[in-house]
A and B are shown apart, each in its own frame.
Chain A
Amino acid sequence: MKMKLATLALGAAIAATPALAELTFTALSYRTGPYAANGIPFADGYEDYFTLLNERDGGIGGEKVELIECETGYNTEKGVECYESTKGQGALVYQPLSTGITYQLIPKATADGIPVHSMGYGRTSAKNGEVFNWIFNYPANYWDGASVAIKYLLEENGGSLEGKKIALVYHNSAYGKEPIRTLEELSAKHGYELMTLPVDHPGQEQKSQWLQIRREKPDYTLMWGWGVMNQVAIQEAVNIRYPMENFIGIWWSGSENDVLPAGEGADGYKALTFHNVGSDYPLFDDIQQYVVDAGMAAGAGDQIGTALYNRGLYAAMLAAEAAKTAQEMHDTAALAPAQMRDGMENLVMTEAKMADLGLPNFGPEFEVSCQNHGGEGYAAVAQWDANAESWSLITDYMQSDQDVLQPLIDEDSSAYAAEAGIEAGCM
């Protein structure tokens, strides 16, 4: 009898408790395992931004934000388990933080009607929103990255790469192979010679690749690496005295973690980025006041302003702005995943909006539409200063070569649509 009364009392208490959170965001993070050093700052940035919105603004549009974090260990199977175990909790959008997990979630999330934002990773051709209705990859994808790197090198060489040799050192996986087709197309257009050098997972041993670079002396080397592959590649480049200013990594090869182990030798190394660096923005003052000083920082609070922390924060900011857009479109504060998708598809990021948020010039301006889920493909080049131990942008945001990329995206997305039996069109 006592047990029954207790159960009833507990039930009544639960029923009487008002819902504390109405907008549920999900972060598939990895704070453990071999890639934890990269997963932690991103997850901290993502979480801190939503904590800031809750503490400073009372949430988004008056609705508190609940963030569900699920640990994937950067393992695709665990990532799918995370998705399955959290999708029933009202998740508005998933940020899988892994190309492998994104590929697995594309059909699942499409069937379940939950949007996925794979920001700067995942399937590049998901940019075609008419085929991938529920998948978004704004503001830039891997092919944009490859194209912007070449555009930067064109600028460095007076508009011509004729006769130049460019090496691509890449992780021998679907992720690492992403830029090859684009670089081949651009090679045909601009007349440079492309040399591809795959590195086996995890990339702790790269002597063969760097001996080849030493022998063949490419003018420039691009890198599509991840985790330990980045640190070893940069150290090997230092060892063979490869000029660091001619070595450019994709954004996943451009964090402090990648360059610090090589010390002074990494000075001058460059990496692409689709968001700004450092913490000299008004919003970071608010992060300090409302999150860090209040003892609510995610993790140890020691990652603020690092490249990957900023990326996580930027991803959360884009999710929050899409939620605001959805609230305005549907005239409701509480959102469903389908409404969130509408918000993402109608997201417009302008400089004025970013300045209002306290993040002036933090990312490129872009506009999402039904046809274009990937933005306009702008990215910038950052350079590492080993003495100051900091990154700084050395270019403005540059647009990728849409004349070359759009046909590739159309071709790949059409092939996917045919394979999956999808009839392309807007929702």
Chain B
Amino acid sequence: MPEQLLFAMEVTLNGLMAGVLYALVALGFVLIFKASGIFNYAQGVMALFAALTLVGIQDGQVPFSHLINAIFGTDVHHFGWHVPAIFAILLTAAVMVLFAWIVERYVLRHLVNQPGIILFMATIGLAYFMEGFGDMMWGSDIKKLDVGLPQGINFAIDDTTFEWFGYGFFIDNLDISATIVAVILVVALTVFSQYSKQGRALRAVADDHQAALSVGISLRFIWVLVWSIAGFVALVAGIMWGSKSGVQFSLSLIALKALPVLMLGGFTSIPGAIVGGLIIGVGEKLFEFTIGPLVGGATENWFAYVLALIFLVFRPQGLFGEKIIERV
């Protein structure tokens, strides 16, 4: 097999894996937009906050330690214990549920019936608040995140492809884990929204707020529920991205990777987020592999946004989004 074809196959596989990571971030946006029509600017910061909280709990870090030490002249930093990853994840998920309740109670409840742009602006404020709050709570140093996920080259794939083609493919174990987690997450979300009472209520709210209210569905409960699920998705995205780079404040910038995925897949479709992520992931990697060297490289962001722009021109609702028709 020609060498370039082998390389292209390896790039495609890695593009698919990268696409899954983009889709994980995009999923959180979709969930909230679908249920409440809010474009949640804070989704990236939620991933950061969740990852910070996870590492903080795992390492037994004293929250607000800098503040406590500055006020009381103490020197406390750690509780001295280490919480196993699974318990730390559960505790962090609980924190994200609490966060969802606070957002509903102190932000969204006061903005019912406000135009979408006001809600969007509120999420911008929320993003800045959370970033500062997270900094104050856990500090701004870069933290190593280790929840036991394997990382580095997958030797089985490397050896197998070497036997087949004479060239071993590189696939990161972390990316394989991310793919498995994403599949489980999407199946769980689909089952939840199709077959559970709360899921049906969530879909009803997504279709028509007023009609859902008229049949007794609590809008407030649904908002807390959907922000909690988005918080959990943010936690998963934070774990995957944080394992690659350490948990640091630039983690919030992963939201930039989700935007073209949303434009392509549609803001209201969970399968759209996955398919959009895969298309962007594979497309940008193959473009960088084939065209990148001819134009100086670093084409990935450019390609993703240009592809999204093309979709916006020809199919504004994205691949799987709902077409909005307003009749006069």
Contacts and interface: CB of A to CB of B under 8 A. Distances in A.
Contacts of A36: 135, 140, 249
A357 interface: no
A34 B250 contact: yes
A207 B14 contact: yes
A300 B135 contact: no
Interface string B112-156: 000000000000000000001001000111111100000111000
Interface in A167-202: 172, 196-202
A98 B248 CA distance: 19
B153 A241 contact: yes
Interface stretch (A227-235, A344-352, A359-367, A373-381): A227-235
Contacts of A208: 11, 14, 285, 288-289, 292, 300
Interface stretch (B33-41, B208-216, B223-231, B252-260): B252-260
Given A231-B142, A232-B244, A300-B69, A33 B11 contact: no
Interface in B1-34: 7, 10-11, 14-15, 17-18, 21
B249 A197 contact: no
Nearest to B153: A239
Contacts of B142: 37, 231, 257, 260-261
Nearest to A210: B170
A239 B135 contact: no
A239 B172 CA distance: 7
Contacts, number: 113
Contacts of A211: 7, 10-11, 14, 170
Contacts of A196: 297
Contacts of B144: 260-261, 263
B66 interface: yes
Given A37-B140, A200-B300, A257-B142, A235 B245 contact: yes
A32 B144 CA distance: 19
B80 interface: no
Interface string B274-303: 000000000001001100100011101100
A346 to B, nearest CB: 39
A31 B141 CA distance: 10
A205 B281 CA distance: 11
Greatest chain B CB density within 10 A among A34, A227, A238, A257 is at: A34
A239 B151 CA distance: 7
Contacts of A205: 18, 21, 257, 300
Interface residues of B, number: 46
Given A34-B249, A35-B250, A211-B170, A235 B14 contact: no
A40 interface: yes
Contacts of B139: 300
Contacts of A214: 170
Contacts of A300: 66, 69, 139
Greatest chain B CB density within 10 A among A35, A199, A205, A295 is at: A205
Interface residues on chain A, size class:
35 or more
A202 B301 CA distance: 10
B300 A37 contact: no
A240 interface: yes
A195 to B, nearest CB: 10
A34 B246 CA distance: 13
Contacts of A201: 301
Nearest to A233: B245
Greatest chain A CB density within 10 A among B18, B141, B245, B252 is at: B245
Contact of A228 (B17, B145, B250): B250
Nearest to A232: B245
B241 interface: yes
B7 to A, nearest CB: 6
A4 interface: no
Contacts of B254: 204
A197 B298 CA distance: 8
A308 to B, nearest CB: 11
B135 A32 contact: yes
A32 B249 CA distance: 9
Contacts of B250: 34-35, 202, 204, 227-228
A32 B241 CA distance: 21
A293 B139 CA distance: 22
A251 to B, nearest CB: 17
A2 interface: no
Interface string A361-397: 0000000000000000000000000000000000000
B160 to A, nearest CB: 17
A295 B220 CA distance: 48
A197 B297 contact: yes
A335 B73 CA distance: 37
B285 A207 contact: yes
B152 A257 contact: no
A204 B253 contact: yes
Nearest to B175: A207
Interface string B226-270: 000000000000000100111011111110010000000000000
A204 B300 contact: no
Contact of A34 (B132, B141, B145, B248): B248
B253 A34 contact: yes
Contacts of A231: 142, 245-246, 248
19 contacts: A33-B249, A34-B248, A37-B142, A172-B297, A196-B297, A198-B296, A202-B253, A204-B254, A204-B257, A205-B300, A207-B14, A208-B300, A211-B11, A228-B250, A228-B251, A231-B246, A235-B151, A260-B142, A261-B143
Given A36-B140, A199-B298, A227-B248, 14 more contacts: A32-B140, A34-B250, A34-B252, A37-B249, A172-B298, A198-B296, A198-B298, A202-B250, A204-B241, A205-B300, A207-B15, A227-B250, A260-B142, A261-B143
